[in-house]
Amino acid sequence: MLPKIIGFFLNILSVFSSEKAAKIALKLFSVPRKGQITPEQSLFLKSGSTEVLFYKNNSIMTYRWAGHKSTVLLVHGWESNAGRWMDIILGLQKKGFNIIALDAPAHGKSGSKIFNVALYATYIKVVSQHFNPHIIIAHSMGGMASVFSIWQHHIKNIKKLVLLGAPCHYTDVVARYIKMMGYNKRIATELDKTITKCLGFPPEAFSTSKNLKNNRTQGLVIHDKNDDSIPFPDALLIKKSLKNSTLIVTRGLGHSLQDESVSLQIQEFINH
C-alpha cells in the first residue's frame, strides 16, 4: 500500500505544482533502497583486486580477477551490486577469462546519490575505455545501459553480448512505475519532461531493441518465461533486433536468473 499512499499525496501536490511532484517522483524512481553488499558478497569481492575510476566527481568501483583469455565486463542491474556475479565469476575464472565487474551509480561502493540509465551508460563507457572488454554480460537495467552505452559512445570492441532479463523500452519501465505508484496524468506528462531534462535524452531514446538494430555483435539473450519484473515479450523484441543472437528461455528462475544452468550456458557461449 505504501507506493499508492505516496502516489496519492504526490497527486494532490501535482494540482498545485506538477513540476515539483514530477521531480519528487523521479527522485523516488532514482534512489535504490535495496541491494546493499552482503557479508558473503563482501568477502568474495575481496578475492579480486579493486580499482576506482572516476567520472567527474563520481567514483566508479571496479573489481578484477585476472586471466589470460578475453576480458569480460559484468554489468549488474537495479538494486544490486557486483557481488551478484559470484557464481558466474567462479565459473569464468576456471576458464581463464580476465574478469571485470563494476558497481552502478548509487550502488555498491560506487559514487553518486542517484541512479539513471544514462549515467550508468557513462560509467560503462569509462570502464570500457580503461579495461577494453571484448565481452559484456549484463543483467536487467544493466543490459539496457550497456546497449545504450555501446550505441551512444560508439564502443567498437565488443565481440559478444549477453543480456539477462533485459528490458526493451525505458518508456515501458517508466509506465510500470507510474502504474505501481498510481500517479495521475499531470505527473505522468510532467515526468516525461523531467526525465528528458535530467538524463539529457527523452525516455524513448533508451530502447534496447532500437539501439541494437544495426549491431552485428554475437548475442545471447536469456529471459525467464514468467519474469515478473521485465515481461518476456521484451526478450522477443531484443532477439529480433540483435540479428546475430540466440534466445534461451528459462522457466522458474525468475528475474534474477541466478542458477548454475544459466552460468553454464553463458560459459559455453563465450568460450566458443
Q: What pLDDT is stored for residue 272 in this prediction?
A: 80
If you average pLDDT over residues 243-256, what whole number do you get?
97
Q: Domains along the chain?
A: 1-30+171-203 (no CATH), 38-169+206-270 (3.40.50.1820)
The full length of the chain comes to 272
Q: Which of 171, 167, 151, 263 is nearest to 216 (CA)?
A: 151
Which pLDDT value is given to residue 1?
A: 84
Percent share of the chain, pLDDT over 90: 97
Phi, psi of 247 (to 5 degrees): -110, 125
Percent of the chain surpassing pLDDT 70: 100
Distance of CA 160 to the CA centre of its chain: 17
Please check the confidence at residue 108 and state whether its pLDDT lies above 90: yes
Average of per-residue pLDDT across 152-170 = 97
Average pLDDT in the chain: 97
pLDDT digits (tens, 9 = 90+) for 117-145: 999 999 999 999 999 999 999 999 999 99
- What are the DSSP E strand ranges found in 134-265? 135-139, 160-164, 218-224, 245-250
pLDDT of residue 185: 97
- How far apart, in whole angstroms, are the C-alpha atoms of residue 78 and residue 180? 17
**Is residue 263 scored above 90 in pLDDT?**
yes
Sign of CA dihedral 103, 107, 113, 114: positive
Q: What is the pLDDT of residue 141?
A: 98
Helix, strand, coil percentages for the chain (3-state, nearest 5): 50, 20, 35
| Best CA proximity match to 262, nearest among 234, 208, 218, 224 | 224
Distance CA(160)–CA(134), nearest Å, equals 7
Decide if 107 contacts 85 (C-beta within 8 A). no
At 196-245, the pLDDT tens digits run 999 999 999 999 999 999 999 999 999 999 999 999 999 999 999 999 99
Instruction: Say how far apart CA 48 and CA 158 lie, in whole Å.
Output: 23
Q: Residue 50: its pLDDT value, please?
A: 98
